Amino acid sequence: MHDHHLQPLLHDLVGTVMAPTAALSGADGQIRSRGVQGLFHADARVLSQARLEIDGREPEPIGHAVPAPGVARFVSLARWLGDRDADPTVRVDRVRTITPGAMREEITIASTASAPFTCTVTVTLSCDLAAIEAVKSGGAAVPLTPEAAGATLTWQADGTRVTATAASGGADAATLRWDVTVAPGERLTMRWEVSVTDAGAVVAAPPGPREWSRPQVEADDTRLVRLAGQSLDDLESLRLTEIAAPGDTFLGAGVPWYLTLFGRDSIWAARMLLPLGTELAAGTLRVLARRQGVKADGETGEAPGKIMHELRRHEFAVEGSGFRLPPAYYGTIDATPLWIALLHDAWRWGLPEGEVAALLPALEAALGWLADHGDADGDGFLEYLDTSGRGLANQGWKDSGDAVRFRDGRLGEPPVALVEVQGYAHEAAVAGAALLEAFGRPGGSRWLDYAGRLAERFRERFWVDGGYPALALDRDKRPVDALTSNIGHLLGTGILSAAEERQIAQTLKNPAMSGGFGLRTMSTDDAGFSPHSYHCGSIWAHDTAIVISGLARTGHGELAAELAQGILAAAETFGYRLPELHAGDDRLLMGRAVPYPAACRPQAWSAAAAMAILHAAAGLYPDVPGGRVTVRPLPGAPLGALAVRGLRVGGAAVDVTVDGYGTARVTGLPAGIELV
């Protein structure tokens, strides 16, 4: 028997989200006092139960939908009421609406019975104000005792106040109550709501409308249309801002564990959304620049110029594990070069020069981190090592403890130099040089030299006998020779020659890597492979989308399309709300993607992956400062004809259509921009 807590599973829960508030319930709409179910607000569970009963019985669920951002509808039956016929005559619709800091529900009983009936409707509530890390570790929390007054229940502790009110009903103990009579043909609606006042929150909802366009998508493959629609809904529900600086928006990483600022996740999501406008990128860049490291601190991982990893209201500690992250944690090796790349790409898409110029000091500090702090041992590669003993042992995007493995399954020992991070560093150095030169700042040649030397060292040290780059170099500078998706992130970073890009594309095309619903994180031929390993065999939509983008940019459209088809098939399995990850099973095993049972959903970079796939298919590559836009769709339109109307280039609305032969047409480019 297990003597430790297990992380709750959540793959079959329904998320209703409007950040920083999210509800997780069963498919029947019930929020039960178990697992990760609950109403969450800014890293705390503010309701641990919201259970609907009619005459002491739970309605029988028959369906649910998430029709709009922050809205879910649950349909059930009360067959013990109404006529005693084969057909049900009493239906219950439960519509849940989340707004920042609040949840409202409408419970409608509709009768087609031949006679009136009387019933008692109750919603039983619990509140434990459990911290998100306690919920994640499977721990239990003691419910608080509410104060009841009229139709209102109130819980409060540690600066947080939760208030639930039944409209036209009553409240006693921990239950909201309505005694009703329903006539034949009548639809009777009961309403209740809960609101949260939270003095300790560090994130909040942005005050204005969304920062990006919502393009109209038409496609021969209707899965693209449905995936784009659901993904844009999910992205809208994940918008956040810092309470201390409400003018800048970023995307919270995901529900429920990561609904806050995450450097890497927020950067990648903003980067994938650049075809819809530069405002989100600008907000993300500024938020992270304000928290850019200024001192060396082994406990937090901070270093001068470094971009942070995550932000919490308090220490994130998993009981009994020794794992403790400070509220502002910098344990990431890749967020800093990715921040530089985002700034550069946003500039190319048309971020106004004044906004770019304001971020140049942060750019120079981030570039300085590459050479002065990111390379601790001076070997010319970026590497990481958790010196606190309480932080993340692995600090790339694959940050689980067993993510860095040799082909025979042995773990690589830190400090670790990850393969994709060297590509990010090369791209960041070249991008930084371009920005410095364009804005008349010194130092551009230094970073071009840095990139050139890095590419030479990389070529000498990372390639292994199988004809692909190693996952990493370990503490002894040995190539960690597992075959992983990480090598696909190198495509388009400039660190590879054209021949090396072809070699990587050919390697990834092997069914051991691409035979699932997307790109596996590790080859099935590796000893460490498991389809349900978090980072050693599973499939992540954002990871696959990054590789699709690189393949498209470097002229390997056939594999890009094959991987996109895998993600589209997975999206169909999951109702077009792509989870954080899914299992790496072969496509022929079940004919549909298998869930990873602890995957978060919605997840910002999974939702943004839909835009990355659309962008690769349309092939629009702008250089607004250079006065030109290149259009290079996937050859032969392997995803079918499509039209994307309402993209943004230099602030102008741009339409791209690709016919069934792969010929593209672009309209709406701003004046002075030449189409290449």
Q: Which CATH class is domain 204-397+411-658?
A: mainly alpha
- The percentage of residues in the chain with a pLDDT greater than 70, rounded to a whole number, is 99
Instruction: Write down the pLDDT at residue 130.
Output: 94
The model's pTM is 0.97
Residue 314 is predicted with a pLDDT of 87
Tell me the two tokens of residue 281.
């990128």
pLDDT beyond 80 at 75: yes
| Contact between residue 458 and residue 393 where contact means Cβ atoms under 8 Å apart | no
How confident is residue 319, by pLDDT bands cut at 50, 70 and 90? low
pLDDT above 70 for 271: yes
The three state secondary structure string of 209-223 is CCCCCCCEEEECCHH
Crossing angle for the helix pair 604-618 and 557-573, to the nearest 10 degrees: 140
Percent of the chain with pLDDT over 90: 94
Give the residue from 285, 291, 289, 386 showing the smallest Cα distance to 333. 386
Ranges 24-38, 308-322, 326-340, 551-565: which has the least confidence: 308-322
CATH 2.70.98.40 maps onto the chain at 14-201
Nearest Cα residue to 615 out of 667, 539, 550: 550
CB 375 within 8 A of CB 383: yes
pLDDT of residue 316: 87
Judge whether residue 4 has pLDDT over 60: no
DSSP annotation of 420 = H
Q: Any bridge partners for residue 603, and if so which?
A: 254
Low-confidence winner among 139-153, 218-232, 400-414, 468-482 (lowest mean pLDDT): 139-153
Q: Does residue 339 surpass a pLDDT of 50? A: yes
Handedness of CA 94, 131, 99, 162 (dihedral sign): positive
Indicate if the pLDDT at residue 3 is higher than 60: no
Q: What does the pLDDT read at residue 2?
A: 46
Q: What is the pLDDT of residues 493-548, one digit of tens each?
A: 999 999 999 999 999 999 999 999 999 999 999 999 999 999 999 999 999 999 99
With contact defined as beta carbons under 8 Å apart, do 70 and 17 qualify?
yes
pLDDT band at 666 (very low <50, low <70, confident <90, very high): very high
Domain with CATH 1.50.10.10 in the chain: 204-397+411-658
In this predicted model, what pLDDT tens digit does every residue of 574-585 receive, in sequence order? Answer: 999 999 999 999
Supply the pLDDT for residue 321: 66
CA distance 602 to 393: 26
Task: Give the residue-averaged pLDDT of 637-647.
Answer: 97
User: In the predicted model, is pLDDT for residue 367 greater than 80?
Assistant: yes
Beta bridge partners of residue 479, listed in sequence order: 473
Per-residue pLDDT, 137: 86
Read off the pLDDT of each residue in 617-640 and give the average, rounded to a whole number: 97
pLDDT at res. 1:
40
CATH class of the region 14-201: mainly beta
Average pLDDT over all residues of the chain: 96
pLDDT > 50? residue 128: yes
- Direct distance between the N- and C-terminal alpha carbons of the chain, in angstroms, rounded to an integer: 65
